[in-house]
Chain A
Amino acid sequence: MRKIKELIIEKSLLSSALVTIAVTLGIILVLAIEAFRFFSEVSIFDFFTDTQWTPLFTEKHFGILPLLSGTLLTSFIAIAFALPIGLSISIYLSEYAPKAFRKSVKPLLELLAAVPTVVYGFFALVVVTPFLQEIIPNLSGFNSLSAGIVMGIMIIPYISSLSEDALHAVPDSLREASFGMGSTKFQTAFKVIVPAASSGIIVSIILAISRAIGETMIVAIAAGQQPRLTLDPTVPIETITAYIVQVSLGDVQHGSLEYRTIFAAGITLFVFTFLLNTLSYRIRKKFQEKYE
């Protein structure tokens, strides 16, 4: 009787694991099939070289570059904003802050990641953009700058929290060694501890980039819906994710070429985040080997 119980438990646990794998594979499969159909009508070469993305207009262009540039531009702004702040926070918490302070502030910071992104989106649109318009008068109502900055605020905890974990995992014996040599706290932090934790810090940055690239709500609300191949952060653009939202919510006919564009865009996005996640996984594995 007990054996049967054990067997049932084991198999049910196994099946829930298999369901997850099946769902993931299903998503990839659907993406691949629909993208394949899309690319049988639109050449892959045009897709990656055309500088216009106008699938919903009469004169159709299927160049992913404007969407890609929009995605990379907002992500770049987000990282440029979040990286210095996130790293400073992590170094402060791990190397300088009193234990009690660290214990209470870290979870508070992580709350930033728990704010619904739609709230961030509106925050960007109705607070940050008007504020920035005071400084940059010709800033459009929709722009990649404020979307990028707010996305940066959202990903700060990814960088600060994961980097802090990496810094904190550096053995105290290295701190002792460094102090024992006559280093100041600052020298110990930046010449010994940060280099020793560098792989963990890099992983945190990659995950943050990955999160920024996949972020949808903030850019859909605050960055606009105008695919545009530009590096100008003050004008409306459109990201891959925002485009997918736009088409999914619109009245594009299922099964049409216009409808399949979202799968082509989706698989491009998927490839990017997949590569980034694989990279971070590799680095993390190397990192573990070093300390065990």
Chain B
Amino acid sequence: MEIIMEKPIKEPKILDSVIDTSLKKTHKIAVNGAKVWYGDFEAIKGIDMTIKANTVTAFIGPSGCGKSTFLRLFNRMNDYVDSFRMEGKIKIDGNNIYKKKVNVEELRKEVGMVFQKPNPFPKSIFENVAYGLKIQGIKDKKFINDRVEKALRQADLWDEVKNDLKKSGLALSGGQQQRLCIARTLAVEPSIILMDEPTSALDPISTAKIEQLIFELKKKYTIVIVTHNMQQASRISDYTAFFYMGELIEYDKTKIIFTNPSIKQTENYITGRFG
């Protein structure tokens, strides 16, 4: 596998006000009293949490426990839900992303997302990966070509597609499509990558490839992944958070959660007694 990892994490663009550097090093994401409502339904019931830079954090829990909603708070994707309402603070690199003047588009260049179902654009492979750069107004062809190649290499897709970059992204297999979506996210060089059950629609071999990829990517990125697959969480993550009914039940090193959880509910869930 050829993976290029030479560039250090660049300075996030949303960091224009006060930065606590010591905090930044350890806490990439800090959540303070987050509450979410959809209409009258309280989906997140007050969660505090910090996530370290360059780690993989897995969110687990039964369906409807709020883990996806919580994940989508980090790039403000819930904003599009009509009845969405939220309270509390979410700081990324020390900046509250729910402040009024936050530029949501800039935030999402910093916090990339990979979705459950592969969703490449009905464009060529090249155009899919170049999309994020082009919408930023970048026109330098060489720069775009280099970034596209680099992103495809990072996503371990380059060798499979280098000869038909003009082919439609939709012509690829499901696993390749998902790696294309990862490449598309990497091309804009975010510092955080959110993954919402990225392998749930894929076969075991494609899943293994993406897990390998996540392992490599954490050297450069902070990764938060929602998964229904216990083995996956234990294989790839450094930290695991267990959610239930909109609450964060337990959050610790993955090793501890899976071998010696301190709360009975967590143990019941990971051993398959409910959920």
Chain A interfacial positions (CB closer than 8 Å to B): 99, 171, 173-184, 187, 191-192, 195-196, 290
Are A177 and B119 closer than 8 Å at their CB atoms?
yes
Per the bound structure, the CA–CA distance linking A181 and B105 in Å amounts to 8
Q: With A183-B135, A187-B135 given, is the CB distance from A174 to B121 under 8 Å? A: yes
Are A181 and B119 closer than 8 Å at their CB atoms?
no
Per the bound structure, the CA–CA distance linking A179 and B77 in Å amounts to 8
Contact residue among B117, B123, B170, B184 (Cβ-Cβ distance under 8 Å from A181):
B184
Are B188 and A181 closer than 8 Å at their CB atoms?
yes
Per the bound structure, the CA–CA distance linking A187 and B134 in Å amounts to 10
> C-beta contact mask, B14-35 vs A, less than 8 Å → 1, else 0?
0000000000000000000000
Per the bound structure, the CA–CA distance linking A192 and B134 in Å amounts to 12
Are A180 and B121 closer than 8 Å at their CB atoms?
no
**Residues in B neighbouring A182, C-beta threshold 8 A:** 105-109, 132, 135-136, 188
Q: Which 9 A-B pairs have the closest CB atoms?
A: A182-B108, A173-B119, A180-B113, A182-B109, A177-B119, A182-B105, A181-B132, A196-B122, A187-B135
Chain B interfacial positions (CB closer than 8 Å to A): 75, 77, 80, 82, 105-109, 112-113, 115, 117, 119-123, 131-132, 134-136, 170, 181, 184-185, 188
Are A192 and B115 closer than 8 Å at their CB atoms?
no
Min CB–CB distance A195 → chain B (angstroms): 7
Per the bound structure, the CA–CA distance linking A181 and B82 in Å amounts to 21
Are B105 and A195 closer than 8 Å at their CB atoms?
no
Min CB–CB distance A169 → chain B (angstroms): 12
Are B132 and A192 closer than 8 Å at their CB atoms?
no
**Residues in B neighbouring A176, C-beta threshold 8 A:** 77, 80, 115, 119
- The 10 listed contacts between A and B (C-beta, < 8 Å) are A171-B119, A173-B119, A176-B80, A177-B120, A178-B121, A178-B131, A180-B77, A182-B132, A191-B135, A290-B170
Contact residue among B82, B121, B135 (Cβ-Cβ distance under 8 Å from A177):
B121
Are B121 and A196 closer than 8 Å at their CB atoms?
yes
Per the bound structure, the CA–CA distance linking A175 and B112 in Å amounts to 14
Min CB–CB distance A173 → chain B (angstroms): 4
Are A181 and B122 closer than 8 Å at their CB atoms?
no
Min CB–CB distance A172 → chain B (angstroms): 9
**Residues in A neighbouring B105, C-beta threshold 8 A:** 182-184
Per the bound structure, the CA–CA distance linking A183 and B134 in Å amounts to 10
Are A195 and B131 closer than 8 Å at their CB atoms?
no
Are B115 and A181 closer than 8 Å at their CB atoms?
no
**Residues in A neighbouring B115, C-beta threshold 8 A:** 173, 176-177, 180
Are B131 and A181 closer than 8 Å at their CB atoms?
yes
In the complex, residue of chain B having the shortest beta-carbon distance to the beta carbon of A188: B135
In the complex, residue of chain B having the shortest beta-carbon distance to the beta carbon of A180: B113
Q: Which of A171, A175, A179, A182 has the most CB atoms of chain B within a 10 A radius of its CB?
A: A182
Are A179 and B80 closer than 8 Å at their CB atoms?
yes
Per the bound structure, the CA–CA distance linking A50 and B163 in Å amounts to 55
Q: With A181-B131, A181-B184 given, is the CB distance from A192 to B121 under 8 Å? A: yes
Min CB–CB distance A292 → chain B (angstroms): 12
Q: With A176-B115, A196-B121 given, is the CB distance from A181 to B80 under 8 Å? A: no
Per the bound structure, the CA–CA distance linking A179 and B107 in Å amounts to 11
Per the bound structure, the CA–CA distance linking A180 and B134 in Å amounts to 15
**Residues in A neighbouring B113, C-beta threshold 8 A:** 180
**Residues in A neighbouring B188, C-beta threshold 8 A:** 181-182
Q: With A191-B135, A195-B122 given, is the CB distance from A180 to B108 under 8 Å? A: yes
**Residues in B neighbouring A290, C-beta threshold 8 A:** 122, 170
In the complex, residue of chain B having the shortest beta-carbon distance to the beta carbon of A197: B122
Are A180 and B75 closer than 8 Å at their CB atoms?
yes
Per the bound structure, the CA–CA distance linking A187 and B147 in Å amounts to 21
Per the bound structure, the CA–CA distance linking A99 and B82 in Å amounts to 10
Per the bound structure, the CA–CA distance linking A178 and B119 in Å amounts to 10
Beyond A176-B80, A181-B109, A192-B121, list 19 extra A-B contacts (CB 8 Å).
A99-B82, A174-B121, A174-B122, A176-B115, A177-B184, A179-B80, A180-B75, A180-B115, A180-B185, A181-B108, A181-B184, A182-B105, A182-B107, A182-B108, A182-B109, A191-B131, A191-B135, A195-B123, A290-B170
**Residues in A neighbouring B106, C-beta threshold 8 A:** 182
**Residues in B neighbouring A171, C-beta threshold 8 A:** 119
Are B122 and A173 closer than 8 Å at their CB atoms?
no
**Residues in A neighbouring B119, C-beta threshold 8 A:** 171, 173-174, 176-177
Q: With A187-B135, A191-B131, A196-B122 given, is the CB distance from A180 to B112 under 8 Å? A: yes
In the complex, residue of chain B having the shortest beta-carbon distance to the beta carbon of A181: B132
Are A181 and B77 closer than 8 Å at their CB atoms?
no
**Residues in A neighbouring B136, C-beta threshold 8 A:** 182
Per the bound structure, the CA–CA distance linking A179 and B185 in Å amounts to 12
**Residues in B neighbouring A177, C-beta threshold 8 A:** 115, 119-121, 181, 184
Min CB–CB distance A197 → chain B (angstroms): 10
Per the bound structure, the CA–CA distance linking A141 and B173 in Å amounts to 63
Contact residue among A99, A181, A191 (Cβ-Cβ distance under 8 Å from B185):
A181
